[in-house]
Amino acid sequence: MDVNKSLSEECKSQLQTTPFGWLLNLHCNIEASGRMLEVMVASWNADARAFQVGDRLIPFTLYDIALILGLPVRGEPIDCNQSHSGGSVVEKLLNRHLKTTSPERTQLVTLLTKPSIQVPNRVRLYIALVFSYFLFPTTSKKVNPSLLPLLDDRANLGRYAWGKAVYDFLVSGLSRAASSMQAKKGRGNLHIQGCTALLQIWACEHLGIGQKNAEINQPFPRFLAWTHQRMYTKKAREAFSNSANVLSVLVAMPWEQEFNVVEEAMETLQETHGSSHPTISRDDGAGPSNRTQTPSNQLQLELQAERAEREALARQVGRLKDELDHVKGLVATVLESSPNIQQNQTPPSQNQPPSQSQLPIQTPIVDLPSFTVQGCQERQSCQKEGQGGDGGLGKLTIKAGQCRGGSCSCGGFGEFTIKGGY
């Protein structure tokens, strides 16, 4: 985030033309929860490339990479262990300024912010930093020079299968960490190479846990919708022990289907896991979403649709609360000023009736916006029931005011609560 703020507009404009431009839109730093990673490593099935969730194996696929990171899974292959001559543009920069082609990644941050670095090279260094910290981090915390030669031709970065490279690198790190955990039987530190923040968001998306940023609507890739999650061991274990509300395959939302990387990932998913993956139909009925849904996939569709509705409701409730707080603040200001107005009035003479100008000023009546719910049957609380139960929209309760004629006009501010239906 701090690095993004230091970039010039010209640099940002050039980064937007690469597959990594969306990283400029990150609203906060996101790190993986160590407790969650421990549970995920223990649940990893290397042979199936899937996580054990309750009594089910939930696959970890290239399609997940496309939705969460927005990176292409098709294209020219990338070898993260390829040999290199040291003659790439970035390697020459590192040698000139840092005297090594594999420096500590913290040194790369310092070099990136040097005023003497020209914009094209600053773009290359930024992507190298993304590789080192986010997409291809190693346990050594050093820059991996194997990928640096690919940054010479910035105009053609989109022709590579970056998503597949991230996937293979992370799967390899997961499998090694799982083997190490089994050998040590839980003793020692856990080390995973690869994009571990992606793993946490995979768990949040598939298991329906965590808290999204309610201010972001229709994000792509999905990584942008999430904030840093605090996840304790007990909660993580509970999430991975219950398969009742788990999405085996994520649903491609209509706006996501407009991206080529998602469409290609859908085709890849068909080739590797069959043709019955779920999608949500577009308004125009076009594209891969016309395929017939099986009953199990229809259930998955309904489950994710309910999640989407809950998220939309949370955004709406957040806006209403903000408006309510604003009005409360205005009321408080008026009420605080009223006693001062009364104290400054001259009391009327005992022998003469008070004139209109001498009448004491009373606390002003403020016409506040009211919440109205029909059919409350003259009670002092009004309730509107949602579907409730697992995955439902829960209960919206408003308590305040007085009820008249089968409707409740709440002129005051009482209790405003939302009870979710998890």
Task: Categorize the per-residue pLDDT at 188 as very low, low, confident or very high, splitting at 50, 70 and 90.
Answer: low
Q: Is the pLDDT of residue 11 over 80?
A: yes
Q: Which of 72-86, 346-360, 369-383 has the highest average model confidence (pLDDT)?
A: 72-86
Q: Is the pLDDT of residue 369 over 50?
A: no
Contact criterion met (CB below 8 Å) for 229 and 200: yes
User: What pLDDT does 312 receive?
Assistant: 56
User: What pLDDT does 59 receive?
Assistant: 94
pLDDT tens digits along 293-313? 333 444 455 555 555 555 556
User: What pLDDT does 73 receive?
Assistant: 96
Q: Is the pLDDT of residue 176 over 80?
A: yes
263-279 average pLDDT score: 73
User: What pLDDT does 6 receive?
Assistant: 86
Which range among 77-81, 344-348, 353-357, 414-418 shows the weakest confidence by mean pLDDT? 414-418
User: What pLDDT does 376 receive?
Assistant: 39
Prediction pTM value: 0.67
Q: Is the pLDDT of residue 10 over 80?
A: yes
How many other C-beta atoms can be found within 10 angstroms of the C-beta atom of residue 324? 15
Percent of the chain with pLDDT over 90: 38
Q: Which residue has the higher pLDDT, 238 or 188?
A: 238
User: What pLDDT does 90 receive?
Assistant: 93
3-state secondary structure the chain: CHHHHHCCHHHHHHHCCCCCHHHHHCCCCCCCCHHHHHHHHHHEECCCCEEEECCEEEECCHHHHHHHHCCCCCCECCCCCCCCCCCCHHHHHHHHHHCCCCCEHHHHHHHHCCCCCCHHHHHHHHHHHHHHHHHCCCCCCECCHHHHHHHCCHHHHHHECHHHHHHHHHHHHHHHHHHHHHHHCCCCCCCCCCCHHHHHHHHHHHHCCCCECCCCCCCCCHHHHECCCCCCHHHHHHHHHCCCCCCCCCCECCCHHHCHHHHHHHHHHHHHHCCCCCECCCCCCCHHHHCCCCHHHHHHHHHHHHHHHHHHHHHHHHHHHHHHHHHHHHHHHHHHHHHHHHHCCCCCCCCCCCCHHHCCCCCCCCCCCCEEEECCCCCCEEEEECCCCCCEEEEEEEECCEEECCEEEECCCCEEEEEEEC
Q: Is the pLDDT of residue 340 over 50?
A: yes
Question: What residues does each domain of the chain span?
Answer: 2-304
- Which residues sit opposite 415 in a β-bridge? 399
User: What pLDDT does 82 receive?
Assistant: 78
Mean pLDDT of the chain: 74
pLDDT tens digits along 43-98? 999 999 999 999 999 999 999 999 999 999 999 999 888 776 778 999 999 999 99
User: What pLDDT does 235 receive?
Assistant: 85
